[in-house]
Amino acid sequence: MLKANLACRLLYTTAVFLVKSSILLFYLRLDPRLRTRRLVYILLIWVALLSIVTFFVLLFVCTPPSLFWDLSRQAKEPEKCLTQSTQQIFFEVNGGMKCVHPVPRESKEEKRWGW
């Protein structure tokens, strides 16, 4: 069961990355302005880096990864796994960093015409 848990964590991280990337790529098609395109490219890089880091943190929560699903070995060698509090801090920082994504603003012309 713990093997499936680890696999689901990794698949979830990959799926979230693909969904976020597809939404950002759709933004490129919606708005041809250079400023917005640059912002979207920066966000694509940001999402990719954050997803890669998250993927590998999840993969190597325990070293070696097989220790993740062997609870008896985890009890004998607790120093080879990240503590729950360390994992919690990582995911809180990760979530906070995702909230910092800037949102494209309306241009002055759009406000003037009410579009």
List, for residues 16-42, the tens digit of each pLDDT value: 999 999 999 998 999 888 988 998 899
CA distance 74 to 81: 7
- Residue 115 scores a pLDDT above 90: no
- Quote the distance between the C-alpha of residue 104 and its chain's center: 20
CA distance 94 to 75: 28
CA distance 28 to 64: 41
Residues 54-90: b if buried by 16+ CB within 10 A, e if exposed: bbebbeebbeeeebbeeeebeeeeeeebeeeeeeeeb
* 109 compared with 52, residue with greater pLDDT: 52
Q: How many helices (H) and strands (E) does the chain have?
A: 5, 0
pLDDT of residue 111: 56
pLDDT of residue 105: 54
**Mean pLDDT for the chain overall:** 84
- Per-residue confidence band for 100, with pLDDT thresholds at 50, 70 and 90: low
Judged by DSSP in three states, 81 sits in: strand
Both tokens assigned to 78: 């607790």
Domain boundaries along the sequence of the chain = 2-100
Query: What is the pTM for the complete model shown?
Result: 0.73
